[in-house]
Each structure stands twice: as structure tokens, then as C-alpha cells.
């Protein structure tokens, strides 16, 4: 329930699901069509069922300047082929807006890039704070055996542009090599990704 008064909520370990939230988003394998480079592995996994890859718990605030939208993201462990479970990733609709992530549990990486071609990957471990500057797309990747749990906050008017990433992907992928995560070029970056609804 939205309020104009100060409020609190609890993030109780180990799951860190907020004691109150307004929206629970569940992203499954079917919502990630075209995002994993090993299409055969993706199709085989999708045929076995609509596996849950990650969840987001949001606290509702007005989508306007001056507000902070915030919540909890939980990326579950697993892989599609050699590529780890990850979020869809997005730019902000208002490119000149930033985002803060606080890793609460697990281990992973944040893959980031700008429209001009700059890119960065930062490790996420419990207790680490990550600042994603304005104009950087970002995607959380779980490289561990447990849930990767982060708290996030961003300006209320920022919006989400998922479409750009859905169409071209990220320049870099995080894959498992000899039991360890490795950053590699995305061989399909920039290709138009065809989805079922096109």
C-alpha cells in the first residue's frame, strides 16, 4: 500500500524477501527467448518446462522524478548450456539515470555496456555495493550455487528499456569454463533476435 509517510520493511536472511512488497515478478525460461547464445540448449530446456530463472519483489512508488523505486532481485542458480542464469537486462528509458545495487547474498557478476560500445563487468559478492552510472545497460548473472540476491534503487522516472537488449543482446556473455565463470564475446551480438511474437 503506497504511502506519503516514511516507512520501513525488513529483509530477513537467508531469503531476503521483503516483509512487505507490492509486486512480485517471476521471469521464466520462456521470457528469455533469444537471450542465451546456445539456442539448442535453450530449446531443450524450454521443452522440459518453464523453469523459474529469477524473481523481483518491488515496492510501489510513483514513477516520477524525486521518488526512488526499489526492491529485491533474486537470480536462481543454474545454466542454459554453458551460460549462467541471468536477468533480461535493460537500459533505462531515461538514459541519463543511474541505479544502485547492494549484494546481500550469493555471488555473480553485473554485465554492463553503453550505446557507444564501452562495456564493464563487476563481481557481485555479499556486502558489495555497485553503482551503475547513467547510460549503462545492466544485467545480473548468477555464477554461484546459491541464489544471487541484490537490493536495487533507481529514480522514479527512469523507466525500463528491455526492447533494445531483447533485440541485440549484450556484447559480453558470462559462461562456465572449467568450472569457473569467464567473460567472452557474444557471437550473436547485434543480430536481430526473432521472438515468437514477431
Q: Mind listing the pLDDT tens digit for each residue in 166-186?
A: 988 999 999 999 999 999 999
Burial pattern 69-81, b for ≥16 Cβ within 10 A else e, equals bbbbbbbbbebbb
Is the residue at 109 inside a domain?
yes
Q: Give the residue-averaged pLDDT of 109-132.
A: 97
Q: Give the residue-averaged pLDDT of 120-124.
A: 98
User: What contacts 1, CB < 8 A, 6 or more positions away?
Assistant: 22
Is the residue at 153 inside a domain?
yes
Mean pLDDT over each residue of the chain, to the nearest integer? 94
Identify the pLDDT of residue 138: 98
196 has a pLDDT exceeding 60: no
Q: What distance in Å separates the CA atoms of residue 169 and residue 89, rounded to the nearest whole number?
A: 9
Identify the pLDDT of residue 2: 76
User: What contacts 99, CB < 8 A, 6 or more positions away?
Assistant: 92, 131, 132, 138, 152, 153, 154, 158
Is the residue at 197 inside a domain?
no
Residue 75's closest CA among 45, 102, 46, 55?
A: 55
Domain count, the chain: 1
Residue 30 belongs to a domain with what CATH number? Answer: 2.60.120.10
Is the residue at 97 inside a domain?
yes
Q: What distance in Å separates the CA atoms of residue 188 and residue 171, rounded to the nearest whole number?
A: 8
pTM over 0.85: yes
**In terms of residue numbers, what domain contains 102?**
23-185
Residue 9's pLDDT band, with cuts at 50, 70 and 90, is: very high
Residue 43's closest CA among 172, 173, 196, 189?
A: 196
Is the residue at 198 inside a domain?
no
Q: Mind listing the pLDDT tens digit for each residue in 104-113?
A: 999 999 999 9
Cα 108–110–114 angle (5° rounding)?
165
The DSSP element (H or E) to which 164 belongs, if any, is: helix 163-168
Q: Mind listing the pLDDT tens digit for each residue in 67-119?
A: 999 999 999 999 999 999 999 999 999 999 999 999 999 999 999 999 999 99
Amino acid at each position: 500500500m503506497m504511502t506519503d509517510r516514511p516507512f520501513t520493511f525488513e529483509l530477513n536472511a537467508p531469503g531476503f524477501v521483503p516483509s512487505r512488497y507490492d509486486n512480485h515478478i517471476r521471469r521464466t525460461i520462456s521470457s528469455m527467448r533469444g537471450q542465451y547464445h546456445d539456442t539448442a540448449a535453450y530449446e531443450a530446456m524450454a521443452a522440459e518446462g518453464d523453469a523459474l530463472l529469477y524473481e523481483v519483489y518491488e515496492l510501489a512508488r510513483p514513477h516520477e522524478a524525486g521518488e526512488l523505486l526499489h526492491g529485491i532481485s533474486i537470480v536462481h542458480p543454474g545454466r542454459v548450456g554453458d551460460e549462467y542464469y541471468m536477468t533480461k537486462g535493460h537500459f533505462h528509458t531515461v538514459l541519463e539515470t543511474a541505479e544502485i545495487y547492494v549484494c546481500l547474498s550469493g555471488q555473480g557478476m553485473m554485465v554492463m555496456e553503453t550505446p557507444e560500445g564501452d562495456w564493464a563487468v563487476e563481481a557481485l559478492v555479499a556486502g558489495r555495493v555497485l553503482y551503475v552510472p547513467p547510460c549503462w545497460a545492466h544485467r545480473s548473472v548468477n555464477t554461484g550455487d546459491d541464489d544471487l540476491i541484490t537490493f536495487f534503487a533507481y529514480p522514479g522516472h527512469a523507466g525500463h528499456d528491455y526492447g533494445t537488449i531483447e533485440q541485440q543482446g549484450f556484447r559480453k556473455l558470462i559462461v562456465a569454463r572449467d568450472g569457473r565463470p569467464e567473460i567472452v564475446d557474444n557471437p550473436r551480438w547485434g543480430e536481430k533476435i526473432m521472438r515468437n511474437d514477431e
